[in-house]
Amino acid sequence: MIPQPTAQQALPDETFTLPSDATIGLDDPSAQPIADRFAAQLRTSTGFALPVQEGAGTITLSTSGPDSLGAEGYELRADASGVSITAYTAEGLFRGVTTLRQLLPAKADADSAQDGPWEIAGTTISDSPRYGYRGMMLDVSRHFFTVDQVKRVIDLISLYKVNRLHLHLSDDQGWRIQVDSWPNLTVYGGSKQVGGADGGSYSKAEYAELVQYAADRYITVVPEIDTPGHTNAALASYPELNKGDQAPDLYTETEVGFSSFAIDKDVTYEFLDDVFREVAEQTPGELLHLGGDEAHSTPHSEYLAFVPKAAELVVKHGKRVMGWHEIADGPLPAGTVVQYWGTEDPKAQVLAQKAVEQGATLVLSPANRAYLDMKYDANTELGLDWAGLISVEQSYNWNPATLVPDVPASAIDGVEAPLWTETVDDVSKIEYLVFPRLPGIAELGWSAESALDWSAYRERLAEQGPRWEVLGVNFYRAPEIDWRQELRTRSSSQAVVSSTSCSATVCWCATSLSGASRTSSR
């Protein structure tokens, strides 16, 4: 299982077998959508009727658990008489159902009827997360991804109890979220992407759909508007945002660090006030990310003047500030979350420490561990390598508590695995870089420190392979992992797969691939 639960015990003489007349019971109406979605998937793969009913069932979901379970904790028992999941909240039940899916045979996730038996070895599990923030970031600016493509990502990361999706919505190459008061941002600034092809953007309705789809899977979207650098798309859309009132051309290459807002112009802050207001209005979560990274063409004194003013506007619109670790060089408002993307660079560590000294908390995305856009090894075609080659072991084998020296455990909110998309332009390529590394970062965020052990983890990871096959995930068959023989011989494809997303009511997963595309080679 991934993430490894806090405590699990086998019930050696017990086996649960899902009967054809099984029912799903629940005692909390707020968990109805969770039960309905779970039942819908199981109906598809088992062919059973699986009615959802009030009260007890063959599988019972209950929020009668104690508050000591916290928002995400749950207890699960599977024995010969049934399965029960008990939590304190509906969210806890959702995490428990995620575990139940992993206890069932992989074919339970199939999109067509399969033969049983549907057995679970008797077990009791008691589980809750180590950290409250377990995220993935998707860069939709360098390459744009449609609502359906992002839904596919949401489906897959939710399997590993990820609870934040950070969307990098603006950068030099494209502005991807509609802003009514500055319409040219998307009309012009979102029209292209890396390589010069047409880009795209989310209308307000589409963005709301994404936020809701994530929320239905207990994932909070964290929107990022990158400032004051990484802003060419905005600067190209509105000349007045530039120092000399001269708009640059759209940019479709992949250099960083050349763009900057005009720090000393009032219009810059009028613009950010509008943008943050409109983005905040579409954000049920607490956090709004203002970027702040790699502002190489903003003089440092101007950068230090800019960040507090931008941060104040985020706070004005009711959100807590999140930003890349560079923002910690100046004063931060209360409640700021600083995202650490350093490697072993002492300068970055000093900034993280400076953040904590100011009372900020940290989300850890060390680039040489958690960056999903780094190549696995020298032969990987996709990805970059500036932070090093990141094998599955390298991405898993670190401890969030000790990564940044001299910060207390209480200052760590959790972890996030970013996927920058300079080299990634379709879902099959996303999947190839995300799997199998993301589950390891998700485990670092969820599982107890004592459970983290590479040699045990790689065995558990191998067990996920058949699940990804069933779900049609184009995962990298990393040679470090002892995949089952049939998975090892089947090479994954970087390019051919393009998945469609499922309707929310039918399944959480995407459609499986046809055998033909699954077996084609890279």
Nearer to ligand TNX, 345 or 406 (CB): 345
Contacts of 516 (CB under 8 A, 6+ apart): none
The reply to whether 384 sits near ligand TNX by the rule CB under 6 A is yes
Report if residue 376 touches ligand TNX, rule: CB under 6 A: no
Q: Answer yes or no whether residue 209 interacts with ligand TNX by CB under 6 A.
A: no
Whichever of 319 and 325 has its CB closer to ligand TNX, that residue is: 325
371 dihedral zone (left: phi>0; alpha: psi -120 to 50; beta): beta
- Name which of 278 and 293 has its Cβ closer to ligand TNX: 293
Nearest to 501 by CA among 89, 154, 73: 154
* 391 vs 511 by CB, closer to ligand TNX: 391
Identify whether the C-beta of residue 448 lies closer than 8 Å to the C-beta of residue 402: no
Question: DSSP alpha helices (H): ranges in 435-491?
Answer: 438-446, 454-471, 485-489
| 84 vs 26: CA distance, rounded Å | 10
Torsion of CA 132, 42, 487, 420, to 10 degrees: -40
- At 250, list the tokens: 């759209």
Rule CB under 6 A: is residue 280 a binding residue for ligand TNX? no
Work out how close the CB of 281 gets to ligand TNX at its nearest, in angstroms, rounded to a whole number.
26
Candidate list 72, 75, 109, 373; residue touching ligand TNX; CB under 6 A: 373
256: Cα separation from own chain's centroid? 23
For 78, 85, 364, 511, the CA distances from 81, given in Å and listed in that order, are 8, 13, 43, 32
Which window, 209-217, 277-285, 365-373, 505-513, contacts ligand TNX (CB under 6 A)?
365-373
Work out whether 420 is an interface residue with ligand TNX (CB under 6 A). yes
End-to-end CA distance of the chain: give it in Å, rounded. 29
- The answer to whether residue 341 forms part of the interface with ligand TNX (CB under 6 A) is yes
389 lies in the site for ligand TNX, by CB under 6 A: no
Q: Is the peptide bond before 3 cis (omega within 30 degrees of 0)?
A: yes
Residues 183-202 that bind ligand TNX (CB under 6 A): none
Token reading at 502:
């499922």
Size of the site for ligand TNX (CB under 6 A): 11
Q: Quick one: which of 493, 471, 488, 446 has its CA closest to 162?
A: 446
Tokens 């969770």 correspond to 34
Three-state DSSP at 294 gives coil
Minimum gap (Å) between residue 367 Cβ and ligand TNX = 6
Active site residue 294: yes
Distance between CA atoms of residues 303 and 331, nearest Å: 12
Cβ neighbours for 24, distance < 8 A, ≥ 6 positions apart: 35, 38, 39, 50, 51, 52, 53, 57, 58, 59, 60, 61
CB 479, min distance to ligand TNX, A: 24
Nearer to ligand TNX, 194 or 470 (CB): 194
Structure tokens at 222: 């964290």
273 binds ligand TNX (CB under 6 A): no
- Give the one residue of 1, 103, 256, 280 binding ligand TNX; rule: CB under 6 A: 256
294 binds ligand TNX (CB under 6 A): yes
Binding piece for ligand TNX, criterion CB under 6 A, among 15-23, 116-124, 216-224, 366-374: 366-374
Per CB under 6 A, the segment of 21-29, 59-67, 157-165, 367-375 that binds ligand TNX is 367-375
Q: Minimum CB separation from ligand TNX for residue 384, in Å?
A: 5
Pairing mode, strands 119-127 and 361-364:
unpaired
The CB-of-371 to ligand TNX minimum distance in angstroms stands at 6
**Angle, helices 32-46/90-103, rounded to nearest 10 degrees:** 20
Nearer to ligand TNX, 77 or 325 (CB): 325
Q: Which is nearer to ligand TNX, 340 or 468 (CB)?
A: 340
**Does 278 participate in binding ligand TNX (rule CB under 6 A)?**
no
Nearer to ligand TNX, 109 or 293 (CB): 293
Indicate the residue among 384 and 411 with the shorter CB distance to ligand TNX.
Answer: 384
Among 109, 293, 431, 443, binds ligand TNX (CB under 6 A): 293
Least gap, CB of 167 to ligand TNX (angstroms): 14
324 binds ligand TNX (CB under 6 A): yes
Task: Say how many C-beta atoms besides its own lie within 10 A of residue 463's C-beta.
Answer: 14
Residue tagged active-site, from 206, 209, 270, 294: 294
In angstroms, give the least distance from the CB of 418 to ligand TNX: 7
Provide the binding-site residues for ligand TNX, judged by CB under 6 A: 256, 293-294, 324, 341, 367, 371, 373, 384, 420, 422
- Would you please indicate which residues are annotated as catalytic (active-site) residues? 294
